[in-house]
Amino acid sequence: MANIRSEAESKELYRKILTAATALFIQKGFERTTILDIAKLSGVPKSKILYEMKSKEEILGYLVTRFLDGVTSASDAVAKKLTDDKVLICVANEVLQIYMAEMNEDMRNLYLAGYSMPKTSEEVLKRRTDIMYEIFGEIFPDFELKDFYETEIASMGIMRAYMTVPCDMYFTIEAKAKRLVTMLMRIYKAEDEKITEALEFIKKIDFEAVAKKAVQSVFKELDIKTNFPKGE
């Protein structure tokens, strides 16, 4: 008779795998981490890991999905108290991702891996496409889903580029957020008044505080210790 795991046992198995994988991706980088490394650290046999998740990239996909869910939850919790405008809520989500990557190098590196690997980047692209279709579908009735998909290829490229380059005294996080919002909204032909409204809206949110809390929540769930810049 086959051994059937309980839901609690399945959750614990996935937690072990994801916790070990996250720690190794942070320590060694995604490319240098192997399934065998994950097996040794997690205590889960390599064969079982491959049975459950098929590949290292699929593990990264689970992590990226969890991070993006965390971003959405954290940004929505704040933004929806201030507005019911779906465009502005979406803008808050985008800006929060930039802040999370900027405040924590571990998060930046995991984000960049997720935005770079073929399988995971495709999943992120599909996710972004669905979100933008829901938000802008009525504004662009002639746009089909594939049009949003093609547009989001450019949007994702912009997001990844801004995550890659760290801020400094000349290019501050506030300047990066302003530039990002302006560029992403122009892709969707937003009028100047709407862009100005969005830029004023993001000033109402303490993204540093929200980002720190969101990052800590994600890593705490995985039992991973992470560091913030001095003074945070």
- Predicted pLDDT at 1: 42
- In our burial notation (b when 16+ CB lie closer than 10 A, e otherwise), range 176-188 reads bbbebbebbbeeb
- Predicted pLDDT at 224: 65
Q: What is the largest CA-CA distance in the chain?
A: 66
**Per-domain residue ranges for the chain?**
7-54, 59-221
**For the segment 66-86, what is each residue's pLDDT rounded down to a tens digit?**
888 888 999 999 999 999 999
Distance CA 207, CA 139 (A): 28
**Token pair of 58 as six digits:** 């699929």
Average pLDDT of the residues of the chain: 88
Matching CATH number, 7-54, of 1.10.10.60, 1.10.3720.10, 3.30.460.80, 1.10.357.10:
1.10.10.60
| Burial of 210 per CB tally in 10 Å (0-12, 13-18, 19+) | buried
| Whole-structure pTM value | 0.85
- Predicted pLDDT at 223: 67
Each residue's pLDDT tens digit in the chain (232 positions)? 455 667 777 888 888 998 899 889 888 889 999 999 999 999 999 999 999 888 899 999 888 888 888 889 999 999 999 999 999 999 999 999 999 999 888 888 888 888 888 889 999 999 999 999 998 888 888 899 999 999 999 999 999 999 999 999 999 999 999 999 999 999 998 999 999 999 999 999 999 999 988 888 877 776 666 555 544 4
Q: How many other C-beta atoms can be found within 10 angstroms of the C-beta atom of residue 168?
A: 7
- Predicted pLDDT at 191: 92
